[in-house]
Amino acid sequence: MIWFTVAFCLLLLCAFFCLYRLQQGPTAPDRTVAIDVLGTLVVGFCALYALRTGKGFYLNIGIAWALLSFVGTIALAKYLEGKAFDD
Amino acid sequence: MTELGYLLIAVGVLFDIFGTFGLVRLPDVYNRLQAATKCVTLGTCFILIGVALSGPSLGFGVRAILCAVFILLTSPVGAHALARGAHLGGVKLWEKSVVDKYEEDAEKVQEAMAAPKAKQSD
Amino acid sequence: MRKKVSAFILLFAFWLLLTFSVEPGFFVVGMLLSVLVVVLLAGRHPRREWLLNPLRWLWLLIYMPYFFYYCIKANLDVAYRVVHPDMPIRPGIVKVPTTLKTNLAKTFLANSITLTPGTLTVDIVGSDLYVHCINIHTDDPEEQTREIVGRFEGLLKRIFE
């Protein structure tokens, strides 16, 4: 179906915007925000791919990715704050 | 059902584009976080709900909804942590910002962080 | 003990939803993993008496569409500001007080604020929330409080307190 291809291309465009901010971003938090958004976009991509191929396990990948990207974001935020992780 | 699902997916992709466009266009970290958390979170949730509605089986739908719930729960917490980290890490607001109460109360915040955490019932 | 059993049931239900199949192999692996997690992280989660009160669940059900409405509105608002050629934004961090007491209710309030029109919670100190707004309409603190916190506080109080 052509519409799936269009949707994938548009999501890739979003990912490209994120990569632009990742490369350009004047400060470290800017880059972290870009990484966070990129993680959420990957989840959407996984879901669309699951629908396209009809294979449910891509959704499991999406769930795992969402949770891991959350942990990564929190760790990076704590690092930016200049604090130990158990604080 | 399937058509409604495709419509939701289209709306979700559109919101994702707006969100990432805001990420490129807005002037400072905090404003970028606004666009990123709101538009991209809701856009991805719409995509997931659309997938759930037009998916081939019930298991598909349940997993997609579960994923949407996780994103809806985790993304504001991540945004909150990032905004706080950026501010405590010394990133200033955009020069045209009108007010920064957090900076004005910086001493109070430091005090509250240094104080031993009070036990509180949930 | 009751805590551990409830944690086990929650984890196992999550596992069943995730795998969504009735093969015995999945059942056994799920049970083993749930027991492992409960043993490793026993007693780490707070008391949840409010879970047993059906009235609170009803309020939560009312809260969800209400919240969803503001969420959609927020997105249209932010999308408009992003694509507008002049970018009509007036950002800043304001301080708003809340009357909610428990940590759980405050967390819900902060998350709701983050997902609604042009506002993002930066920190909570005591009972004050520091909120970053993308467009500040008014410089009057009371007006700001009513606008940012007021629309959720009443319902959240009914749900959690």
With CA atoms as reference, the chain B residue closest to A11 would be B13
Interface subset of B 92-121, CB within 8 angstroms of A: none
Query: What contacts B110, CB < 8 A, 6 or more positions away?
Result: none
CB nearest to B31's CB, from C74, C89, C114:
C89
CB nearest to C118's CB, from B34, B42, B105:
B34
- Collect all residues of chain B within an 8 Å Cβ-Cβ radius of residue C139: 98-99
Number of domains forming the structure of chain B: 1
Residue B75 has pLDDT above 80, yes or no: yes
pLDDT score of B24: 87
Phi, psi dihedrals of residue A83, rounded to the nearest 5°: -120, 160
Q: By three-state DSSP, how is residue B118 classified?
A: coil
With CA atoms as reference, the chain A residue closest to B63 would be A59
B118 found inside a domain: no
Report residue B122's pLDDT band, with 50, 70 and 90 as the boundaries: very low
B81 found inside a domain: yes
Interval B54-64: pLDDT, tens? 888 888 888 88
Q: Is the ipTM of this structure higher than 0.90?
A: no
- Letter for the amino acid at C13? A
pLDDT score of C106: 83
- Which residue bears the tokens 């997993």? B63
How far, in Å, CA of B16 to CA of B13, rounded? Answer: 5
Q: What is the mean pLDDT of each run of 10 residues along chain C (161 residues)?
A: 78 84 84 87 62 76 85 82 78 81 82 81 82 76 72 77 69
Length of chain C counted residue by residue = 161
- Collect all residues of chain B within an 8 Å Cβ-Cβ radius of residue C156: none
A28 contacts A80 by C-beta, under 8 angstroms:
yes
Interval B2-42: pLDDT, tens? 889 899 999 999 989 988 888 888 888 888 888 887 888 88
- Which residue bears the tokens 């990742």? A22
B119 found inside a domain: no
Q: Report the mean per-residue pLDDT for chain B.
A: 81
Please give, rounded to a whole number of angstroms, the shortest distance from the CA of B100 to a CA of chain C. 5
CB nearest to C92's CB, from B21, B77, B97:
B97
Among C78, C121, B86, B82, which residue's Cα sits nearest to residue A70? B82
How far, in Å, CA of A62 to CA of B64, rounded? Answer: 9
- Letter for the amino acid at A17? F
**How many C-beta atoms lie closer than 10 Å to residue A23's C-beta?**
9
Among C18, A43, A49, which residue's Cα sits nearest to residue B74? A43
Residue B63 lies in domain: 2-113
Between B110 and A67, the higher pLDDT residue = A67
B122 found inside a domain: no
How far, in Å, CA of C121 to CA of C132, rounded? Answer: 6
- Domain positions in chain C: 2-40, 56-160
Interface test with C, best of B20, B80, B96 (most C CBs within 10 A): B80
